Chains A and B, each alone.
Chain A
C-alpha cells in the first residue's frame, strides 16, 4: 500500500531523545518525558518518526538509547560528541539540513544542568514557534497542528500552531509503551557526522554537588511580646475573618456562593 502523496503527505517528525537517569538507582535509562514524546509521535497517523540524539556513546548510553529503539524503531540518528559539549549547534545543523514538520522534545533532561532550555534555543535558532507541555496532538491539517496543552490542575487547553513547530512534552502526555528487548537489540545507532563539537565552557566552571535538602520554611510569627507569640502559637482556626450568612433563605445563601464562585472563575460556562 502506497500513500497518495497528494492527499496524505506523510508527516516528518523528529523526536529528540536523551539519556535518562533512574531516580532510585541512578542508572541510565530512556528518559521518561522523551519516551512520552516518542509515544506521542508514534500515535500520529502517517507519521514518519526519526529519533535524534547528540552525546557520548558508551556502554551506559548505548543501553539507554536502545530503550527507544525497543519502542519499534530500526534506527536512531546519533551525533557523537565528547562529554559536556554544547549539543544545540549540532542538533540545529541536523534539523536545518533535513527540516522535519514537527520536532518533539522533553521538557527537561534527567541529567546535567537540565535547564530545559534546549528546545527554546532550537526554536530561536530555527525561527520556529514552540508550544510547551503538549499532552496530545489532535490533528495536523493544512500546515497547522491542533494540540492539547496540559495545564496545572489537570486542565487542558486547545491550541493551534503553524508548522513547522517544536513541541515539548511533560509528564501529562500519555505513558510510553514498553520497550521490547528484541527490536532494541536489533536496532541500529546510525552515527551522523557534523562539524566540530563546541565545548560548554561555562558549565565546567560551576560547582556541582549532590542536591542539598532545602530548608523547610518556618512560620515566622512577628510579635512584640511573649503573650502575642503564645496566642499565635496556640491559636486554633481564626475566627471573624470570613463572612457568615446566618438566618438567610437558601436562595440568598446560594446567590452569595454563586457570586464567589464566579469571582474566582471556577465555574464552568
Chain B
C-alpha cells in the first residue's frame, strides 16, 4: 500500500453535512461512525442527533440495532467471542484444603451429574475467598474429556492403568485410601449414581469409618454446624425411598444426587496433574470382571437404551432397517409416522407422545425432525441423521448428518461392518 493519504473532498463535505442523505454511510466508510449520534455540547450537555442513529441496511432501509453493537452481523460475532473469553482463569497455588471429587466418567466423559458435583465441590472450595480450597478430581481408566479445567478441576489425579477399567471397586478403593493418606482432603464428594459413585462412595465411607450423607441434593452454609464438627455446612439428604428429607451437618464423605448444584460456567481452572507420593500396593482382587454380556437390544426398554437406530417416513426398505439394527446391536425406535403407518409397534415411538429417550447415540434414518420428535431426543448425546433433505430440522440438531438415500447409506454401513468383522475373524 502507498503511504500517500488520498482525500476525497466530496466525502469530507458529506461527513460535515449531517443533513446530507448519505451522511451516515459516509461516516461509516471514513471510520468516524462511532459517535455520530451523541456528543458532548459546549455547555457540558449531552447532545443527541436521533437522525444519525442506526445505519443503512442492505436494502437501503435504515436499521436501528439497540443491542449496543452498530452492525447486526459482526456485532453478534464479537459478543460471542467475548463471552467465551470472559471466563476468568483461576489458578490456586497453595490451597488451604482439598475437596476430592470422584466423577463417574461414564463413556469417558464428564456426565451432567459429574458437572453438577464439580459445581458443588467449587461451592465448598470457594466459600472463603481468603483461604480458597482446591478441587481434586480422581479419574480412573482412559477418558476423552478435554474440558476438565472448565468444569472446575484444579488438581487432577489420573490413573489410566488397565487395572481400574471395568468393575474394579477394590483397586479403586485402594487408590482412594492412598489419596486419603497422602493428601487428606477435607471433603470427599461422589455422585450417588448406581454402580458408579454410589458403590465406590459407600465403600470409601466404610473404609474411612465415616458416616456419609447419601442422596444429598442441597447444601447450605450453617454456622451452627461449624461449631459441632467443623464442616460449617448443612446438607439436605433424601432418604426412605425418596419420601423423607434429612437435614444434617455435612460429613466428610457425601454422595450427591444430580442437579445438586449448578455446574461451573464462569471460571476456568488449571487441572494440574498430581501424583501420589508412594506407589500403590499390589492387591489381589477378589472380584474378577469377565466383561459385558451381550443382551438382546430388542429387549432393552427404549427409554434406557444407549444406542438407538430410529426409522421415519424416509425408510422404505424395512427388512434392511431391521437387519441393520440387529447387526449394529441397536435398539429400534421410530417416528410417529412410521408407527402410524404400521411399520413399527407403538411402544417404539420416540417423541412427545412416545418415549423420551436418553441414548448416548441416536441415529435418525429418514426422520425430518418435527418438533414433537425432537423433544423426545433432547437428552441424547450424539445424534446422527441420514436424510435426503439437507434443509430439514433433524440435520440442524445432528452432530453428524449424511445427506443421501437412507436405504443406500444403511446398506453401505451394513456392508462395512460385515467386512470388518470378517477381517477380524480372519485375523484372529
| A interface list, Cβ under 8 A from B | 21, 23, 26, 108-117, 120-121, 123-124, 129-133, 146, 148-149, 151-162, 165, 170, 202, 205-212, 214, 217, 220, 222, 224-228, 236-239, 241-251, 253-258, 260-261, 264-268
Contact = CB atoms under 8 A, between A and B. Distances in A.
B30 interface: no
A268 B294 contact: yes
B268 interface: no
Contacts of B286: 129, 161-162, 165
A260 B206 contact: no
Contacts of A132: 169, 195, 198-199
Nearest to B284: A162
Contacts of A246: 390, 403
A260 B416 contact: no
Contacts of A251: 412, 416
Interface in B52-110: 65-68, 76, 79, 83, 106-108
A123 B383 CA distance: 43
B426 to A, nearest CB: 15
16 contacts: A109-B240, A146-B290, A154-B301, A160-B288, A161-B286, A161-B288, A206-B247, A208-B244, A214-B217, A236-B396, A237-B393, A237-B397, A245-B403, A254-B412, A256-B402, A268-B329
Q: Contact size class for B?
A: 35 or more
Q: Which of B166, B239, B247, B291 has the most C-beta atoms of chain A within 10 angstroms of its own C-beta?
A: B239
Q: Which of A26, A165, A264 has the most C-beta atoms of chain B within 10 angstroms of its own C-beta?
A: A264
Given A209-B244, A222-B265, A151 B195 contact: yes
A120 B258 CA distance: 23
Given A26-B243, A158-B291, A249-B412, 19 more contacts: A111-B240, A124-B207, A130-B203, A133-B195, A157-B289, A157-B290, A157-B292, A206-B248, A208-B247, A211-B238, A236-B396, A239-B396, A244-B395, A244-B401, A245-B401, A257-B402, A264-B381, A266-B306, A268-B294
B361 A110 contact: no
B199 A159 contact: no
Contacts of B202: 115-117, 120
Given A113-B246, A115-B212, A209-B247, A154 B305 contact: yes
Q: Which of A26, A170, A208 has the most C-beta atoms of chain B within 10 angstroms of its own C-beta?
A: A208
A26 B411 CA distance: 54
B52 to A, nearest CB: 21
9 nearest A-B residue pairs (beta carbon): A253-B402, A268-B329, A254-B412, A154-B300, A266-B307, A227-B67, A254-B413, A207-B247, A124-B206
B14 interface: no
A237 B396 contact: yes
Contacts of A120: 202-203, 205-206
Nearest to A268: B329
B43 interface: no
B305 A153 contact: yes
Contacts, number: 262
Interface string B396-428: 111111111100111111011100000000000
A251 B247 CA distance: 59
Given A132-B199, A162-B286, A154 B244 contact: no
Q: Which of A23, A149, A211 has the most C-beta atoms of chain B within 10 angstroms of its own C-beta?
A: A211
B220 interface: no
Contact of B400 (A113, A156, A245): A245
Contact of A264 (B107, B262, B292): B107
Nearest to A162: B286
Contacts of B328: 261, 267-268
Nearest to A161: B287
Given A124-B206, A162-B286, A207 B246 contact: yes
Contact of B241 (A108, A148, A239, A258): A108
Interface string B369-407: 100001000000111101000100101111111111100
A226 B106 CA distance: 38
Interface string B99-143: 000000011100000000000000000000000000000000000
Contacts of B107: 264-265
Contact of B295 (A155, A165, A255): A155
Contacts of A124: 203, 206-207
Given A116-B202, A268-B328, A255 B416 contact: yes
A250 B400 contact: no
Contacts of B317: none
A51 to B, nearest CB: 21
B180 interface: no
A115 B239 contact: yes
B240 A253 contact: no
A74 to B, nearest CB: 30
Contact of A121 (B198, B206, B397, B399): B206
Given A117-B214, A242-B395, A160 B195 contact: no
B202 to A, nearest CB: 4
Contacts of B237: 113
Given A129-B287, A160-B287, A222-B265, A244 B403 contact: yes
A225 B67 contact: yes
Given A211-B238, A227-B66, A244-B390, A250 B404 contact: yes
A245 B289 CA distance: 40
Q: Which of B66, B401, B417 has the most C-beta atoms of chain A within 10 angstroms of its own C-beta?
A: B401
